[in-house]
Amino acid sequence: MVAFAGTAQEKVIRSPVVSTEKLEYVENFPDFQRKTNTEKTSVYSYIVSTILTTSEPINQYIQMWIEKEINQFIHDVEKNNPNDTEQHPAQLHISVEIYGVTDEIYSLIFTVKNKETNRQDVMKIFNLDLLNHKILSLTDIFNLDHANVEGFRSIVKEQMSVQDENSLKEWLEKSLKQPNQLNWQIDQTSFHLLSDAPENHILVEIPVEKLSPYLTNDIMNRLQIHFTDDPANSLHPDGKYIALTFDDGPSPSVTPQILETLKQYSAKATFFMVGSRVLSYPELALQVAGEGHEIGNHTGNHSNLSKLSEEQIRQEIIGSSQVIESIIGESPTFFRPPYGVYNPSVEKVALEHNSPIILWSVDSLDWKNRKAENVHQLVKENIAPGAIVLLHDIHQSTADALPILMAELSNEGYQFVTVSELLSLQGISGIGPYYGVSY
């Protein structure tokens, strides 16, 4: 016999509990089992289904959530008038559907329905990572640090505004303050945000390409999300493209930070490397090239070429190019003279070596203003489609400014390409020099 507290502290004796448990394999998911528990008394009954996966930690986590739902349901029953519950027994029904994303990632979609209680029906989604035995959170899917969260919100709001429903916008504002409380799903093509109401639950559907700047590398690899391998083939003549360029590296302290930020935005840049630094940090130079960035030549020792003889210029340019090629396996694409200084002798050697001279239209002055906010502000004030931006991957302030800068430029519709892609789009060829487009 089970005793529950009734109104006015009254003790009410219930009928004996009748309970069953059933296990069955899940159709199309042979590694999983569906477990269904039922329980019935004179005042309530429930039917609760869950999925038993191959990960015990995940099973335990979901079971804790189910037990919480059952305990809340019974607590609600206890608060009701015992005569009411005898005449209208409360009912709880928890059902579950499974959705396979990959061999390691699945979504379990639970629907919780209550009858004769004051609780509303709800939906709850668990996104499972069986490889790492964990429930995925939004921060496993997206890089939602301070620099990125506003951009993420902006894209979601923009997609939601198409539906033009004020209630949904209010829901979004509230929900994004606690992103890990959201119901969501992701697959190779789309990201869905869902409400906790079982009916009309899809609120936002966003193509993953729109969210690519914020996707973690891990989830892109595991979902096998691939965007075009050759961005130049998909560049639109009217697009807002800019080329980020980094001089004077590689630097063991700063270049890896730059690479990580570029990776978060699936962006490619052009690195004008100094030959002597490539010799000092060959593995880092190889990493930059290996991650798909364009490598340019910035001379062997960062000398002012206007003060050198033609032969010395030739040694600086060609010698550096040979060093870079020996490390990364290919000759650098372009040449940028240190300080942007060149003369007819420099042009002659560049022509001999078929090395187009690349300068810039936006100078971040990061070499002068060693504050991230100054770097960020100066670029934002002077940027324009078709610009070539001068930065340096040897200053910490540049690494600090880049995440915020790229987030804001992305929100404004800018896309980041290499110098060769930018020149190809503009139909430019030859030795140059080329500056890019000014504001």
63 has pLDDT over 70: yes
312 has pLDDT over 60: yes
DSSP string covering 96-125: EEEEESSSSEEEEEEEEEEESSSPPPEEEE
Share of the chain above pLDDT 70, in %: 82
Strand intervals (E) in 331-393: 362-363, 388-392
Query: Cis peptide before 356, with omega less than 30 degrees from 0?
Result: no
Alpha-carbon distance of 214 to 221, in angstroms, equals 14
Tell me the three state secondary structure of residue 22. strand
Better-scored residue on pLDDT, 77 or 47: 47
Q: Among 293, 298, 376, 392, which one carries the catalytic annotation? A: 392
User: Could you say which DSSP state residue 436 is in?
Assistant: B
For residue 269, the model assigns a pLDDT of 96
138-148 mean pLDDT? 74
For residue 235, the model assigns a pLDDT of 65
Computed over every residue of the chain, the mean pLDDT equals 85
For residue 120, the model assigns a pLDDT of 84
For residue 165, the model assigns a pLDDT of 52
For residue 10, the model assigns a pLDDT of 38
Q: Among 76, 129, 247, 393, which one carries the catalytic annotation? A: 247
For residue 5, the model assigns a pLDDT of 40
In this prediction, residue 178 has a pLDDT band, given cuts at 50, 70 and 90, of low
For residue 200, the model assigns a pLDDT of 56
Residue 392 among the catalytic residues: yes
120-145 mean pLDDT? 88
229 has pLDDT over 90: no
pLDDT tens across 344-375, in order? Answer: 999 999 999 989 999 999 999 998 887 888 88
Element containing residue 5 per DSSP (H, E) = strand 3-5
Query: Which of 19-28, 153-162, 216-225, 244-253 is predicted least confidently?
Result: 153-162
Share of the chain above pLDDT 90, in %: 55
For residue 267, the model assigns a pLDDT of 92
166-181 mean pLDDT? 59
Residues 6+ apart with CB under 8 A from 277: 248, 249, 250, 251
Tokens of 99: 């959705």
167 has pLDDT over 90: no
pTM metric for this prediction:
0.51
317 has pLDDT over 60: yes
In this prediction, residue 2 has a pLDDT band, given cuts at 50, 70 and 90, of very low
Cβ neighbours of 139 (radius 10 Å):
12
Query: Which of 69-73, 278-282, 429-433 is predicted least confidently?
Result: 429-433
Question: Residue 416: exposed, middle, or buried by beta-carbon count in 10 A (0-12, 13-18, 19+)?
Answer: buried
Alpha-carbon distance of 159 to 239, in angstroms, equals 20
Residues 6+ apart with CB under 8 A from 17: 2, 39, 40, 41
Cβ neighbours of 132 (radius 10 Å):
15
pLDDT tens across 206-216, in order? Answer: 888 888 878 88
Q: Tell me which residue of 18, 20, 86 sits closest to 49, measured CA to CA.
A: 20
pLDDT tens across 69-87, in order? Answer: 999 999 888 887 655 556 7
Q: Which residues are bridge partners to 270 per DSSP?
A: 245, 294
45-58 mean pLDDT? 96
Residue 196 among the catalytic residues: no
Residues in the chain: 439
282 has pLDDT over 80: yes
User: By the 8 A CB rule, do 38 and 52 touch?
Assistant: no
